[in-house]
A and B are shown apart, each in its own frame.
Chain A
Amino acid sequence: MRLAGEGLLCVRGGREVFRDLHFTVDTGEMLAITGPNGAGKSSLLRVVAGLVRQSGGRLILQGGDAELTIGEQAHYVGHQDALKPSLTVQENLVFWSDFLGGGAEVITSLARVGLHALLHLPARYLSAGQRRRLSLARLLAVERPIWLLDEPASTLDIAGQGLLAEMMAVHLSKAGLILAAIHGPVPQSAKELRLAGAGASARLGLDAPKEIRL
């Protein structure tokens, strides 16, 4: 499986976020998208997931299911955790597992992210880090080859970050591919796509990448 973007252009709110962006990710690879705030990391992930209309360029997925869009074969973990406060931890995950196509056992996924003791707790009582762990459990409960992660480690503690790194390594070893927007150090095994944001340009706000390093 190979996911490639060719000459991607993204315009949001009348401003060009990035233009002429190229990348390729192969099976077993991780593309780390880095860059300052406002450089378009989240926009790129949302474009790939099909949540923001791409204004130009092409996204090509080779070796995937031709019947499905890229978004339908991908997990998108954004800044919001998509949890309902009045549902319990288990109910939240069971729903997403059912809706997104299921696969693995929900309870084992929750145990893996360390929430097995809180199965029946309404999600409103979870801390930010626990909420993020619950969204990450979705990645385990439903098998999808492409992971689109938007700053997945932002609210996680050290143990959580270790767990995430381990989950990502396992996913890559099982022929998955990952696009992740990250701020921290780029893992050695990952390719880096650096979006240079507003700081590099006279224009304000979101801006085009000045440098693309693959």
Chain B
Amino acid sequence: MSPLSALLARDVRLAVRLGGGALIGVVFFLIVVTLVPFAVGPDLALLARIGPAMLWLGALLASLLGLDRLLAGDHEDGSLDLLLTGRSPLELALAMKALAHWLTTGVPLVLAAPILGILLNLDPRSTGAVMMTLLAGTPALTFIGLIGAALTVALRRGGLLLAVLILPLTIPVLIFGVAASTAATAGTVPFRGPFIILCALSLLSLVLGPVAAAVALRQGLD
């Protein structure tokens, strides 16, 4: 197996093994979104209107959960040292780790969205739009989060700091994700516009995230 695919396979395997935390995010997502109808009340029209936004908020918070472990685990057990002595560029190794994280936390969120759409009285069209936007937007959340993970890797309790660092950067993703989701059923703008910007944000973070994270890690060498 090539070095990078070995890293991808290892991280996916670690995430799905006991204690890996792959399903924690999706369970958290379920709980957050389930709480909304209880908080808002049984107003079906209102639920349908705010549904996409609630799904996106839930997904955003859920995708933050595992991020603090993205690099901290490898830092604590010395694996990060060995990743640095590998012959693959650090940027690509980090991209692989983020990809594995997205596969095990981002994709389950996308798959869970239709079930939660029922709770929020979303019609199939709207649910489909939310799934599309989550699929396009969650990579951006993970790869932006990678930067935060690299910056806070040496801190014992970096999780909260990471959230504070990362959440402001995810605002554009949230705005265009929700805009595209609501545009699919209502609103004045077509779905295409915000959706394309969302895809662009994801692609941008796909490139910038690993590079910035590698710089952060190299700066932090100590």
Interface membership of chain B positions 1-30, coded 1 if the CB is closer than 8 angstroms to chain A and 0 otherwise: 111001101100110011110000000000
Residue B43 at the A interface, CB < 8 A?
no
Also in contact, A72 and B81, with CB within 8 A (given A53-B221, A87-B17, A95-B6): no
Q: Are B81's CB and A82's CB within 8 A?
A: yes
Report B6-62 residues with CB < 8 Å from chain A CB: 6-7, 9-10, 13-14, 17-20
Q: In the assembly, what is the distance between CA of A14 and CA of B75, in Å?
A: 22
**Pairwise interchain contact B221-A52, C-beta atoms closer than 8 A:** yes
Interface residues of A in 60-113 (CB under 8 A from B): 68, 71-72, 74-76, 78-84, 86-87, 91, 94-96, 98-101
Q: Which of B1, B18, B78 contacts A81 (CB 8 A)?
A: B78
With known contacts A72-B85, A82-B77, A98-B2, A13–B222 Cβ distance under 8 A: yes
In the assembled complex, B87 has its CB within 8 A of some CB on chain A: yes
With A and B bound together, what is the CA distance between A50 and B87 in angstroms?
Answer: 13
Interface string of B211-222 (1 = CB under 8 A from A): 000000000011
Asked whether any CB of chain A lies closer than 8 Å to the CB of B86, the reply is yes
Which of A51, A71, A87 is B14 in contact with, Cβ under 8 Å? Answer: A87
Interface mask (A146-176 → B, CB under 8 Å = 1, otherwise 0): 0000000000000000000000000000000
Q: Return the CB mask of A43-56 against B: 1 if under 8 Å, else 0.
A: 00010011111000
Q: Are B78 and A78 in contact (CB under 8 A)?
A: yes
Residues of chain A contacted by B19 (CB below 8 angstroms): 86
Contact of B78 among A82, A100, A101 (CB under 8 A): A82
**In the assembly, what is the distance between CA of A96 and CA of B85, in Å?**
11
**Is A58 in contact with chain B by the CB < 8 A criterion?**
no
On chain A, the number of residues with a Cβ less than 8 Å from chain B's Cβ atoms is 31
Judging by beta carbons under 8 Å apart, are A52 and B222 in contact? yes
CA distance A82 to B88 in the complex (A): 18
Complex Cα spacing A12 to B14, Å: 33
A82 / chain B contacts, CB cutoff of 8 Å = 77-79, 81-82
Cβ A72 vs Cβ B82 within 8 A: no
A81 and B7 contact, CB distance less than 8 A: no
A residues whose Cβ falls under 8 Å from a Cβ of B: 12-13, 46, 49-53, 68, 71-72, 74-76, 78-84, 86-87, 91, 94-96, 98-101
Report which B residues bind A (CB closer than 8 A).
Answer: 1-3, 6-7, 9-10, 13-14, 17-20, 76-79, 81-88, 221-222
- What are 15 A-B residue pairs whose CB atoms fall within 8 Å in the complex? A50-B85, A51-B81, A51-B85, A52-B222, A53-B222, A76-B85, A84-B14, A86-B18, A86-B20, A87-B10, A87-B14, A91-B10, A91-B13, A100-B3, A101-B3
